[in-house]
Structure formats: structure tokens, C-alpha cells
Chain A
Amino acid sequence: MAELQLKSNRFREEREADWLRLERLLARIEGGAPSRLSSTQLLEIPVLYRQALSSLSVARSISLDQGLIDYLESLCTRAYFVVYGARTSLWERVGRFFREDWPASVRSVWRETLVAAAIGIIGVVVAMVLIGQDVDWYYSFVPKESAQGRDPTAATAYLRETLFHGVQAGKDPSDGLSALATFLFTHNAQIAIFAFALGFALCVPTAALMMFNGAMLGAFLSLFISRGLGIEAAGWLFIHGVTELFAITLAGAAGFTIGWATVFPGQMSRIDAIAAAGRRAATVMVGVVVMLFVAGLLEGFARQLIQSTPIRYAVATASAVVWGVYFYAKRPAATP
């Protein structure tokens, strides 16, 4: 036989070295060491990638070596994600998030934020009205474990005590604060992420969660107002509550965004609309976790260490102004 070597075999032998070279470079990048590659090596990757791609299309039409085609497909796929997955460094990304992405995403869900806030306020009002008529309603809004003795049977003096000396009266106020802060942060963050995830179920569970959250707040407030401690209680609550309630409202808004896109996708196909809304909402949510971290610190430390009601109000107002300006103030157009 004159033609013992197949054309596809020759084709492969001519290009094999380049493929292996590309594979070695990819392995180093995927191993997490792109910085160890020299600039010539980095510049080589796109060239080798395009060579491999064209090898793949040629191999598909002239070669019947399945092992070769499988290899080239996976090699090209890996290279594709390296070449087109243009990544910025972690710090750049974090910086961009706080500078632009987060405020922009929060602004973009302003309608849902208003709805979530309205539902929360309705919850507050409903709870206050109901408790005004019949004190027993208190127990349906506030679970036993979070009441910690703060229920309508408690003495006014005890209630005052809880506002000014931490929950465990009689202890040194700085004792156990970091544990408390951590607990509050993780607990609230979990609830917020949950509110977001529930939005996928067509908004309804998120709305219920917002309403319940509002009702709990309303129940607390009405209890303290009925004992003439309204102003002090509000100070106790809002020193961290401005941040925390805002964060939970934003989480609800993020959930609504997704639910809304599921029901009313608008111009896009449903699946694309959901994906777009999901990413926007996720950016909001990352920020919400940061906010709740701040709120946890305020709640765990600042509230226990600051015992004066006017200063508590000052902190609350300051945090409201800071968040408001950060999210909604008009900012100069970003330079490209």
C-alpha cells in the first residue's frame, strides 16, 4: 500500500505540539497562577486558541478519530472560557461594586423598594390597631423566644430596664456583646436571603414575610407606647433599625423584582427576563448582607454601649442620611 499514513494522522502530527502547548498554559491559568505567565505566553494563548478552534473544525470534517475530536472539543472549551472570561482582579471588582454597581442596582429597584416598605408599614399599622383593640394579639405577632419577657404582662420598670441595660439585666453591658452581634447579624442575613429567594415563588411569600416583619415591629412599638416609653423604645430600635429595616426592605424588593419578572417578563422572553432580574437583584442582595453586617455591629455594640436616647436618635438619623445619600444622591457621570 502506497498511502499508509492517513491524511488525518498527518494533520494531527503537524499540530499536536501547539495543542499540548496550549494545554500546558491553560493548566497553569486554571491552577490559579496567571501572574506567573510571561506576557509573551499570555499573548500566545488567543493565537493558540484560534488555531485549536480551526483544528477542531477541520478535524470534524476530515478525521474519524473520536479520541482526537473529544480532546479538541474540551481543549477549545477550556480555552474559550479563559480567553473570553476576561476577569478583573478581586480588588477592582470589590471597588467597582461599592462605587457603582451596588448603588445603581438599588436605584433600579426603587419601585419595588417602595412596595416592600409600604407592605411593612401596613404590617406595623395593622399590628398596632389590633393590639390596641385586644392585647392578646401581641402573642400572635411576637414569638415567645424573641420576646424575652417583653410582653404585656411585664412591669413597666422591667421594660425600661430592657431598653437601657441590655437584655440580660444586671450583667456588665459589654459582656457577651460580640457573640450577640454575630448572632444578630447571621440571623438577620439569613432572613434577608430567605426573603430574596422566596421572591421566585411569585412574590407572595416575600410579601407575607415583609408583612410579618412589620407586624412584629408594630407589636413591640405598641407595647412600649402603651407604657409611655414610646420615644425611648424608638431610640432603642432605630439606632440599628434604620439600617436593618432598610436592608430587609431592600431584600424584599429584590425578591419582588424576580417575582415580577417571572409573571410579567415584558419584551424579553420569560427565561431571559428572569435571568436579568435575578442578576440585578443579586447585586442588591450582596449589598444587603453588608448592610446587615453594619446593622449587627450597631445592634450588638452601639446600642448596648450608648445609653442616652438623644445620642441614639442622632446615630439613627446619621445612618439614615448616609444610606440615603449613598444610594440615591445624584452622582457625577462615571468616567469611562
Chain B
Amino acid sequence: MRAARIKRPRPPRVLAADAGREFVTPEGVDLRLRLGEVSDRAAALVIDLLLMVLMLIGMSVLAAAVLWATKAEAPEIVGVIWLLGFFLLRNFYFTGFELRPGAATPGKRLMKLRVIARNGGRLTADAVFARNALRELELFLPMGFLFARGEGVDAWLVSLGCLWSLIFLLFPLFNRDRLRAGDLIAGTMVVRAPRPLLLPDLARDGAVALTELTFSEVQLDAYGIKELQVLENVLRGNDRKTIAEVARRIRTKIAWTDGAATSDRAFLAAYYAALRGRLERQMLFGRRRKDKFDKG
């Protein structure tokens, strides 16, 4: 059958990732957290490192300005600021920011990530410290190797060191929860923390359009929940070309004849409202129609 052939190639792994990780609150509701993507986390790290460099530069400019303004002869203070500043940034930049209520460094905040305790409890200070102390091993040690140079045996040692650091660098790629070594030690993980706005309910626009159009049962049976959600995304995206194309396809699929009278968007909104109404009614009777192939 054609339907069966189309269904098979969809890898189940993608579905599992979409569904998120199980995270049950004490009230017994599963919040379905989404793990932070490795790419997002790498981007967050780069942003943070750039910020650290900028802060160091800013601090030295400030120190130089103060020295210049006071005409004081204290070159020592610049050294102290650099040494202490570098030390504090290297060790406490991440810890400091992750201890705040948002549990995210500026980079993570930009990438919409946050750190949580893996067991769902509260994120303690020692956990944050542990996960960031391991950066020494994962990040700064490889950096050191990168800038190290040597000849003969030393060169071999450096390359072996690089290889060894790679294990830690690539650690997040080899486990289900995308933990880096620091997360493993501290019992934490990084999840996505987007803040979606409460979007208007599309079914309301649809209801208005629906006063002029009516769909038959057969026409509404053409699609299931998955297609409804795709349609929702198309309507929210509000791209004229896509809307025209999707409207054309749906019209063909449900053999819609008197189509010329309504605009594409109004047609889709009305169809969305009608389809959702039907599927939700079915749900109330205990039947979830997964997608258009689901004949129940």
C-alpha cells in the first residue's frame, strides 16, 4: 500500500527528540523538557568567551584611564587587575551567572538555554561550581595544548594531549542527555528555555470565515492531527506564497469547487477551524487521529 510505504522512512528517533525528555513535577504533570542542542550550546560558549575577552579589554582600558587621570605611578595595579581579573573571569564568570535565578550565562540566555538539576531538584551552588570547574579540563586545557609548541618528544606529548582533550570536548555527543563531563559530575543538564508568547487562537479567525463556508464530513476526514499542526504553522508563518500553495493543495485534495470566492487565507483559516473542531470532538470521545493515514 502507498500509505504504508510513506510512513516507514520516518525515523522514530526524530519523534522521540520532538517529544522532549520526561520531567515529572511533584504534581504529576510531565513537563516534557527539550534538551539544549549541542550547536546552540557551542554558540553560547563562543558568545561567552567573546564577552570575557571584551570584559578584560574593558577592564584594562579602565585601569589605564584611571592611571592616566590620577597621573599615579603604580604600574603594579594593572598587573594585579589583569591577573585577578583573568582568574576571576576564568573561574567565576560561568559560576556567577549560572547562580542567578535564570541559571544561564549571557550566551546561554541569548541561545535560550538554561541549566537545571537533573533530578528536578533545585540547582545548588556546589553543582554549578562543579560543572564549571570541569571546564578547566574540557576547555582551558585543550586551549593550552593548542597554544603549546614543542619539538621531538614534546611534540608527541602535545598531540597526545590534544587527542586526550578531544574525548572531553566531544563528550556531549555520545550520551542521550547531551551531558558534558561537567554536567555528569554535577548532576545537571542544559535544557532549552524558550519564552513563547501566548499567540492568538487561530480557531477564532477561522470561526468568522466559517460562517460563509461549510465543509462536508468527507472533506474534513482528509487530514489528521499532524496535518492540522502543519497547517497551524503555515497560518502563523503568514507567508503569502506558502499559503497560496497549501490552499491549492488542500482544495485539490478535498475536491473544493466553489473556491474562487474566498481568499486563500480565509479558506485555510476556515478549514483549520472546522478540522480542529472535528478532531477535538473526536478526542473528547477518546479517539486521537494521529495523521491522515490513521484510519482508526
Contacts and interface: CB of A to CB of B under 8 A. Distances in A.
B130 A182 contact: no
B111 interface: no
Interface in B124-138: 124-127, 129-130, 133-134, 136-137
Nearest to B200: A67
A86 B86 CA distance: 32
Contact of A32 (B29, B80, B101): B101
Nearest to B276: A64
Interface in A52-68: 53-54, 56-57, 61-68
B210 A4 contact: yes
Interface stretch (A6-14, A212-220, A221-229): A6-14
Contacts of B125: 93, 97, 286
B79 A179 contact: yes
Interface string B68-94: 000000001001100110110011000
Interface stretch (A72-80, A135-143, A238-246, A307-315): A72-80
Contacts of A54: 29
Contacts of B199: 67-68, 71
Interface stretch (B45-53, B150-158, B180-188, B241-249): B180-188
Interface residues of A, number: 79
A179 B80 CA distance: 5
Nearest to B112: A74
Q: Is the interface of A mostly helix, strand, loop or mixed?
A: helix
A53 B195 contact: no
A328 interface: no
B263 interface: no
A278 B187 contact: yes
Contact of A87 (B101, B126, B133): B101
A118 interface: no
Contacts of A85: 101, 122-123
B273 interface: yes
B201 A286 contact: no
Contacts of A64: 225, 228-229, 276, 279-280, 283
Contacts of B87: 185-186, 189-190
A84 B133 CA distance: 26
Nearest to A94: B125
B31 A7 contact: no
Contacts of B250: none
Given A77-B33, A85-B123, A281 B283 contact: no
Interface stretch (A109-117, A161-169, A196-204): A196-204
A29 interface: yes
Contacts of B170: none
A196 B185 CA distance: 11
B211 interface: yes
Contacts of A86: 122
Contacts of B101: 29-30, 32, 34, 82, 85, 87
A68 B201 contact: yes
A81 interface: yes
Interface of A: 1, 3-9, 12, 16, 19-20, 23, 29-30, 32, 34, 50, 53-54, 56-57, 61-68, 70-71, 73-74, 76-78, 80-82, 84-87, 93, 97, 101, 176, 178-179, 182-183, 185-186, 189-190, 193-194, 196-198, 200-201, 258, 271-272, 274-283, 285-286, 289
Given A8-B203, A84-B26, A282-B127, 10 more contacts: A6-B207, A12-B201, A34-B101, A61-B283, A65-B232, A81-B103, A179-B76, A193-B91, A197-B133, A200-B137
Interface of B: 25-27, 29, 31-33, 76, 79-80, 83-84, 86-87, 90-91, 100-103, 114, 116, 118, 120-127, 129-130, 133-134, 136-137, 141, 181, 184-187, 193-199, 201-204, 207, 210-211, 214, 225, 228-229, 232-233, 236, 273, 276-277, 279-280, 283-284
